[in-house]
Amino acid sequence: MKKNYTFQLELKVRDYECDLQGIVNNANYQHYYEHTRHEFLVSQDISFAELHNQGIDLVVARATMAFKTPLHSRDKYLSVLDLRQDGLRYIFDQKIFRLPDMALCNSARFDSVATINGKLGRLPLLDDLVNRVNAEKNNEDNQ
């Protein structure tokens, strides 16, 4: 049974992302995850630049990554994302699967916080987003 994710992006390993051992250098998974979060927010019409101009920034406070199966040069992969909230934290649960066999390569959690003029705060915009995407997700799960 295919799990239902809030957002997913298909990407491909580029040779320059691989290191001496012929596998993707660990730091690049952070790039893949960041790129996926940004693409997700853009897909929801949330503009970092616009928020930044209003004095609002969304920053990663904590990252946890579990490295399972290394990606190799030229592998295709699926980068998936779910979003939830825990107090002032917006939590992105993210995974990277190798294609086409869907082997789990990396499993991660990124805790983000919003700063409004430098102070921690809630973002009604993101609160709405969390509610919306999870309502959609539950609907799909129930069908």
CB 130 within 8 A of CB 85: yes
Query: Could you confirm whether 15 is annotated as catalytic?
Result: no
Tokens of 113: 């916080």
Binding mask 30-49 for a copy of itself (x = CB under 8 A): xx--xx--x---x-----xx
- Per CB under 8 A, contacts with a copy of itself among 51-80 are 52, 57, 59-67, 70, 73-74
- Give the separation between CA 124 and CA 116, rounded to whole angstroms: 12
Query: Which amino acid, 42?
Result: V
Catalytic-labelled residue, pool 15, 19, 93, 127: 19
Q: Which is nearer to a copy of itself, 68 or 137 (CB)?
A: 68
- Nearest distance, CB of residue 94 and a copy of itself, angstroms: 13
Given the rule CB under 8 A, which of 17-25, 80-88, 94-102, 131-139 is the region that contacts a copy of itself?
17-25
As a three-state string, the secondary structure of 45-101 is CCCHHHHHHCCEEEEEEEEEEEECCCCECCCEEEEEEEEEEECCEEEEEEEEEEECC
List of residues contacting a copy of itself (CB under 8 A)? 14-16, 18-22, 25-28, 30-31, 34-35, 38, 42, 48-49, 52, 57, 59-67, 70, 73-74
